[in-house]
Amino acid sequence: MKPESAIRAASWLSYIVGFGTLLSIGPGLAYNLYFGSSVGSLFGRPTYGDFIGSNPIGQLWGFSGALVFGITFLVAAGAEVVTGHWLRKSLKKGGVLGAILAPSIVAFAILFVLPGWFLVTPVLVALLLIGWKTLR
């Protein structure tokens, strides 16, 4: 793979992870903040909106802990979108931010039991390593 292509792929992957996290977890957290309780379904369909009982954070620290960590996760997802934007422009600060965010995204994936992020993060880091020299 060409280094330029790797950075372009890393940019798109960062956009997908960032916006995907914001759109998939954000509404559930908004519901939790507004109603003060955890939702387990949307339109009668089960979702991953139960932030209390379905993950280690909710089990250990309850509703407040799940909300604090959830909001922090959304901030990291927003930073992932910024990473994608900077990588699209081939800026080194995008690569640095992506490398810094990778361990935090993995930590949130463990704490919120989100297996998809375990697959995406190593791929993103590998793409950054391949194309690192092309960043300016």
Q: What is the pLDDT of residues 113-125, one digit of tens each?
A: 777 788 889 999 9
Q: Give the pLDDT of residue 29.
A: 78
Q: Give the pLDDT of residue 51.
A: 60
Taken as a whole, the chain contains a residue count of: 136
Identify the burial level of 64 via C-beta atoms within 10 angstroms of its C-beta, where 0-12 means exposed, 13-18 middle and 19 or more buried: exposed
Q: Could you list the residue range(s) of the whole structural domain that residue 75 is in?
A: 3-134
Domain count, the chain: 1
Residue 63 reports pLDDT greater than 80:
no
| pTM as predicted | 0.84
Residues linked to residue 46 through DSSP beta bridges, in sequence order: 41
Separation CA 84–CA 11 (nearest Å): 4
C-alpha 128, offset from chain centre: 17
Separation CA 34–CA 41 (nearest Å): 16
